[in-house]
Structure 1
Amino acid sequence: MDMKLELVGVPVTDVDRAKAFYLAVGFHADHDHTVSDNVRFVQMTPPGSACSIAFGKGITTMTPGSLDNLQMVVADADAVRAELVARGVEVSDVDEQPWGRFVYFSDPDGNGWALQQLPEWSAGAGGDGDQPTP
């Protein structure tokens, strides 16, 4: 039985500000539909991702900014960091860890994101999955 995560709700206070931010990060705007005075649904997808995010009015009861450590995998942490800085996104320096290289940023409400470049040994990065022995 397959189970595919395809949509994650992101709690925001200002829908238009969030949409502008995620466009600056490079997400594609899939849908922006006002259903009623109480419901507006915006769906955006990171480039290359099979999973999208949704935010809007009447979408979730989570507190804006309460999501932490949403994570996407990237091929090159340095390159993606440079691209985001060029787009005006405030990002961290590259954080080197044994399990990958990370760049962090938050949306205007404080929802936290991590971009991970997998280590060479990782099967997800095309390696054999066997960690090197120290």
Structure 2
Amino acid sequence: MKKVLILVLILIVGAFIGYKYIYQSHRDIQTEKAEFTIDATSLAKEFSENPDAASKKYLNKTIIVKGELTEIEENSLMLNNATYGTFDTNHSVSESDLNSRYTIKGRCIGYDELLEVVKLDQTSIIK
């Protein structure tokens, strides 16, 4: 009887931990303090030269990236053709802002080796 009770207790604790892991609260990147501030070209260069070290340093971290606006899409933008940021909602950047200096904040989600760009999500404009 004791073994069954211990087994049930272990299952309940395991289920609770699993539930908390799966349904953890989402991060609010806009209110988080950035761990790094870097130029878009320098960030992409770090990833291209040493992807493992750059991943350990930046992956899943909130970072601020500065650069020249080189591409605009409905819910994303590109700085220096090196850092691509996606927004949860549409941004207010227009075509007339191309080639302007921008500062964005987001969570680094990785490096696209094919396109040679660093990707950020949950991006916001600081400018």
TM range (shorter): under 0.3
Name which one, 1 or 2, has greater alpha-carbon Rg: 2
User: Whose relative contact order is higher, 1 or 2, with alpha carbons under 8 Å and at least 6 apart?
Assistant: 2
Higher helix share: 2
- TM (norm. structure 2) is 0.25
- TM (norm. structure 1) is 0.24
